[in-house]
Amino acid sequence: MSLSAFVRDNPHASRPEIKAAMVGNICRCTGYERIVDAVADWLDQARMAGQVVGGIHV
């Protein structure tokens, strides 16, 4: 849920920013890579489609 709030408040977040937002929330043994990839890909797709994320037109 904290990642959802982060994305809502930071729709132009970079991969390092997404990863930093997750520190301390879940196990780091995987490095969060799949989750970071999924969030970054979703934000990229939202930007390409001109969608609104967190009230901000991306």
- Does residue 16 surpass a pLDDT of 60? yes
User: Is residue 53 within a helix (H) or strand (E), and if so which, with residue range?
Assistant: strand 52-53
Beta bridge partners of 53: 56
> What Å distances lie between residue 42 and 14, 29, 30, CA to CA?
12, 23, 20
Binning pLDDT at 50, 70 and 90, where does residue 50 land? confident
Q: Structure pTM? A: 0.66
Matching residue, tokens 């990642």: 3
What is the distance between the alpha carbons of residues 40 and 10, in angstroms, rounded to a whole number? 12
CB contact at 8 A, 45 and 7: no
With a pLDDT cut of 90, the percent of the chain lying above it is: 14
2-6, 19-23, 25-29: least confident range = 25-29
